[in-house]
Chains A and B, each alone.
Chain A
């Protein structure tokens, strides 16, 4: 359920860092990149308001190091894409700027999860690592 930690502004810029090939050659993001994690049924993202492009990449490098995976790219999107799927973004610091897409259906409701992830992916812009 949404809480006081929820991000309300639909214009809030978000990023999902990509460590695997969850994107296509045409630089679109695959919906699989937004699937919630098995552990907590949430999708890890970062808030990027106020950061320039270089800073967003620097944050991504830090995240990649923490997760011990090479950074392949990032998916930029706005909170409105999450809200449109009737999900919400909740703050989850530390680390700083970390948040989760939450409110996903039960993992057993596979097809609904797929639909929602497809919807978010449609709104995301993929940027590969330079």
Chain B
């Protein structure tokens, strides 16, 4: 993470200071920015790779300039819909560029907004996105919290040609669906995977944070798609998806501990699912007493 010398991370609740924020239009500016009423746009930070931050309609952005004209930003929203965050990015970056010239470039889980709660101090991976003029072929995207340098990420992203971060898992999904495309594919009357199940599975895949390893994918006999995080037959967590509206989960964590339930399939990975996955990854097992 790169900070302007002397500033604390504006996104860390525990260390956040609350400077007096000035406003310009509907933008609340950090005191490090300077502007005059005659300016139509906020000045860019003078130093490349130096972060600054602002608040737009309740969305906190930190931003910097890399490689000339590129603007990068990182937004953390508190219980705001994904669409609001995207709109906020355009509005925020519109202070420097014409909105028509901007392109939203997704990163990691592109269609998911993770929430951050002031009350619980629970911090989930945040949505990161970048905006760049459309006529620029090179892509840039923001750094994210976690210690990697911006420039390294930019170079890596250019080389990746904007491949979906879960491309291999999606390919595995399609391979599994292909294997289950015939009636009676399992010898016991199994039906082919439905289109709705595939769409739901893709929606679910996009909810998986980068720190979650790829699960096993297995087609279900009823046309659904199932995901397994597996360490042993007694340490397993599974998710079953038949459409885009709901998921079902079940897990075994040792001899006497089980977890099961159902959740809406929305824009955020349910806490219950994250918990189940974590229990498998952490190897938390309840032993027989």
Contacts and interface: CB of A to CB of B under 8 A. Distances in A.
A121 B252 CA distance: 11
A38 B221 CA distance: 8
A114 B228 CA distance: 11
Interface stretch (A6-14, A27-35, A47-55): A27-35
Nearest to A71: B187
A129 interface: no
A114 B250 contact: yes
B209 to A, nearest CB: 23
Contacts of B189: 37-39
A118 B185 CA distance: 21
A44 B184 CA distance: 14
A32 B221 contact: yes
B81 to A, nearest CB: 28
B153 interface: no
A19 B186 contact: yes
A114 B186 contact: no
A76 to B, nearest CB: 14
Using C-beta atoms within 8 Å of the partner chain, give the interface range for chain B.
35 or more
A44 B219 CA distance: 18
User: Which secondary structure dominates where chain B touches chain A?
Assistant: strand
A121 B240 CA distance: 16
Given A30-B228, A35-B220, A112-B260, A118 B186 contact: no
B218 interface: yes
A69 interface: yes
Interface stretch (B40-48, B126-134, B230-238): B230-238
A69 B248 contact: no
B233 A69 contact: no
A21 B187 CA distance: 11
Contacts of A32: 218-221, 226
Given A114-B238, A122-B252, A20 B230 contact: no
A22 interface: yes
Contacts of A64: 187
B188 A67 contact: yes
A85 B232 CA distance: 19
B279 interface: no
A95 to B, nearest CB: 15
Given A32-B221, A111-B248, A114-B248, A122 B233 contact: yes
Contacts of B151: none
A6 to B, nearest CB: 21
A28 B233 CA distance: 7
A39 B191 CA distance: 11
Nearest to A120: B233
B184 A69 contact: yes
A38 B222 CA distance: 6
Contacts of B262: 110-111
Given A32-B220, A122-B233, A20 B260 contact: no
Interface of A: 17, 19-22, 24, 28-32, 35, 37-39, 44, 64, 67-69, 107, 110-112, 114-115, 118-119, 121-122
Given A24-B230, A118-B250, 17 more contacts: A20-B186, A20-B190, A21-B218, A38-B222, A64-B187, A67-B188, A68-B184, A69-B187, A111-B248, A111-B261, A112-B260, A114-B240, A114-B248, A115-B252, A118-B238, A118-B252, A122-B234
